[in-house]
């Protein structure tokens, strides 16, 4: 059975490094992995008075249907972009309908600086743990000085491709072992 992996990209800008990394994932993942992005850029801020918004339903349907979720994100002010937190909050509600418990997740952080989005990654893992997701603990992904990881054509350099190939193989196993949809 193929695996359905949803991606959530933390940056909304067109030339996003996160998005460029996300675009490489299908080619680096084990055969039989299908990727689709859950768009978060147009989601209204979570508001408990508005539980039935169509945009929220679309996000929740996407989270529900996914065997696993891969977050690719920059660090913003030592935390996560607000859009990612908003998406986590939306998919955790309404009461009794939290979609995160037991959902396999992978966090890929990147930054232009030397720390590779470490603090943002920790903040994201904390929110995911609070919501109940099963975030893969190892290997961790901190892509530092991200601009140096692409060649002139915008392709990830071979070392980074190899690293991410290994991470995605581990995540494939993590999803296999943890996704409720995949249990016999
Ligand atoms: C940043 N950046 C950043 N980098 C970092 O290492 N630590 C930080 O706290 C921040 N804070 C921060 C805040 C805001 C509002 C922006 C826009 C940027 C830099 C950022 O992580 C880096 O440029 C990423 O590579 C941007 O990701 P995208 O947009 O290319 O995917």
Helix (H) or strand (E) holding 110: strand 104-110
SS3 183: coil
Ligand 1 pocket list (CB less than 6 A):
11, 13, 16-18, 74-78, 110-113, 115, 117, 146
Kindly report the protein residue whose alpha carbon is nearest to atom 15 of ligand 1: 76
Domain assignment of residue 84, given as a range: 3-182
pLDDT in tens, 111-146: 999 999 999 999 999 999 999 999 999 999 999 999
Give pLDDT tens digits for 38-48: 999 999 999 99
User: Complex ipTM, two decimals?
Assistant: 0.98
Q: What is the residue whose two structure tokens read 């296999």?
A: 176
Atom nearest to 77 CA in ligand 1: 9
Indicate which CATH number applies to the domain containing 103.
3.40.50.360
Return all residues near 169 (Cβ < 8 A) that are at least 6 apart. 30
Closest Cα to atom 9, ligand 1: which residue? Answer: 77
**Protein residue whose Cα sits closest to atom 12 of ligand 1:** 76
Exposed, middle or buried: residue 141 (CB in 10 Å: 0-12, 13-18, 19+)? buried
Query: What does the alpha-carbon distance between residue 46 and residue 44 come to, in Å, rounded to a whole number?
Result: 6
Give the CA diameter of the chain: 49
- Note the helical H segments in 67-157: 82-91, 118-131
Domain count, the chain: 1
Query: Distance from the CA of 86 to the center of ligand 1, in angstroms?
Result: 18
What is the distance in A from the centroid of ligand 1 to the CA of 177? 33
DSSP letters, 59-74, are HHHHHHH-SEEEEEEE
| 79 CA closest ligand 1 atom index | 9
pLDDT band at 51 (very low <50, low <70, confident <90, very high): confident
């Amino acid at each position: 059975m193929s695996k359905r992996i949803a991606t959530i990209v933390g940056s909304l800008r067109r030339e996003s490094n996160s998005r460029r990394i996300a675009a490489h994932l299908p080619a680096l993942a084990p055969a039989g992995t299908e990727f689709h992005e859950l768009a978060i850029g147009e989601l209204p801020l979570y508001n408990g008075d508005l539980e039935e918004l169509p945009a929220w339903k679309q996000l929740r349907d996407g989270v529900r249907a996914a065997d696993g979720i891969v977050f690719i994100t920059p660090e913003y002010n030592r935390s996560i972009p607000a859009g990612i937190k908003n998406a986590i909050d939306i998919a955790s509600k309404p009461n009794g309908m939290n979609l995160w418990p037991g959902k396999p997740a992978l966090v890929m952080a990147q930054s232009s600086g030397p720390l590779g989005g470490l603090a943002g990654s920790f903040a994201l893992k904390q929110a995911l743990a609070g919501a109940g997701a099963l975030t893969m603990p190892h290997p961790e992904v901190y892509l530092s000085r991200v601009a140096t990881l692409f060649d002139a054509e915008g392709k990830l350099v071979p070392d980074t491709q190899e690293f991410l190939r290994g991470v995605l193989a581990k995540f494939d196993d993590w999803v296999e072992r943890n996704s409720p949809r995949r249990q016999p």
